[in-house]
Amino acid sequence: MVVEHVASDADITQAAALMADPTRAAMLTSLLDGRALAAGELARLAGVSAATASAHLARLLDGCLVTVVRQGRHRYYRLTGHEVAHALESLARISPRPAVRSLKGARQARLLREARTCYDHLAGQAGVELLDRLVGGKCLVEAADGYEVGEKGERILAELGVDLAAVRGARRRFAIPCLDWTERRPHLGGALGAALTERLMERGWFERGTTRRALTLTEHGRSGMTAL
C-alpha cells in the first residue's frame, strides 16, 4: 500500500498532463468560449505545424477533453463540456494574481457570446438572430444544400453591397447553417455568410472588440437588423 486515492490521482494526472503542454493549452483556451474550431485554425492559433496539431488534437480527443465534428473536409473541434472549461479556468486562477482577471474574463465571455466572428462569419446571439430574420423574412429559403436566396433576399443583399455573383463563384459552399456553440442554434456560414459579414462590418453594423474575434453590435447595426 503506497498511494491512497489511486483512482483520483490517475484522473488528475491525465487531465492535467493534457493541459500542461503550451500548445494544447493554447488550443484549449481558444476553445474556451464554446466555439468549434477547425484543426487548421487551431494549428495556426497555437503556432505549430498541421502534423503537430493533429497529434495534440488526437490526444485531447483520447482524453475526452474535446469532441470533433466532421463537416466536409474540415474537422471542427470543441470542448467536451463545461467541466473542462471550468477546470481550465480554475487552473488559470491559481498562482500569482488573484480574482481580478476572473472578472475581466467573465465580461469578455459575455461579450463573445453576444457577437463574434466564427472563423470568417458572424456568430453569437447576433449571428443567430440575423439568420432567424433572413429566414423568417423569406430572404433565405432552406434548400437541399443549405440555403438559397429568395427574391426579397436578392434585393436586400444587393442593398447591403453583397455581390451575389461573386459569392456563387467562390470555391466554397454557398450558404449553410453553422451550428452556433454558445447559442446551440445555427447561424449563417459558407461563402454568403462570410461575404455578408464582411459587408456588415464595412457598413459599421459591428465594431471589433479587444479580442479581435469579439464584436459589438452598434446602434446602426441594431436598427438595420430590426429592419430586415
Partner DNA sequence: GCCATGGTTCGCCTCACGACGAAGCATGGA
Partner DNA sequence: TCCATGCTTCGTCGTGAGGCGAACCATGGC
> Which residues in this chain contact DNA in the complex, by CB under 7 A?
17, 20-24, 38-41, 43, 48-59, 68, 70, 72-75, 169, 171-173
Q: For 141, what's the count of Cα atoms within 13 Å in the CB-facing half-sphere?
A: 8
Nearer to a copy of itself, 95 or 226 (CB): 95
CB of 209 to DNA, least distance (A): 25
Beta strands at 121-123 and 116-118: parallel, antiparallel or unpaired: antiparallel
Residue type, 17: A
Q: In this structure, how many other beta carbons lie within 10 angstroms of the beta carbon of residue 207?
A: 14
Nine-digit cell string for 116: 463574434
Tell me which residue of 128, 134, 163, 30 sits closest to 84, measured CA to CA.
Answer: 30
The three grid cell numbers given for residue 106, joined into one nine-digit string: 467573465
Q: Which is nearer to DNA, 48 or 111 (CB)?
A: 48
Q: What is the grid cell recorded at 16?
A: 492535467
d(CA 46, CA 224): 37
Count of residues that interact with a copy of itself, criterion CB under 8 A: 48
- Pick the stretch among 70-78, 85-93, 131-139, 169-177 that binds a copy of itself (CB under 8 A): 85-93
Judged by beta carbon distances under 5 to 8 A according to partner kind, the member of a copy of itself, DNA, none in contact with residue 101 is a copy of itself
CB of 78 to DNA, least distance (A): 13
CB-wise, 43 or 134, nearer to a copy of itself? Answer: 43
Which option in DNA, a copy of itself, none does residue 152 bind, with CB closer than 5 to 8 A by kind? none
CB of 46 to a copy of itself, least distance (A): 7
> Among 60, 65, 131, 192, which residue interacts with a copy of itself (rule: CB under 8 A)?
65
Residue 79: its H or E element: strand 74-79
Q: Quick check: 207 and 179 in contact, CB under 8 A?
A: no
Q: Is the dihedral of CA 213, 18, 107, 83 positive or negative?
A: positive
Q: Is 171 in the site for a copy of itself (CB under 8 A)?
A: no
Nearest CB to a copy of itself, comparing residues 111 and 192: 111
Give which of DNA, a copy of itself, none residue 74 binds (C-beta under 5 to 8 Å, depending on kind): DNA
- The set of cell numbers assigned to 139 is 430572404
Q: How far is the CB of 174 from a copy of itself (least distance, A)?
A: 30
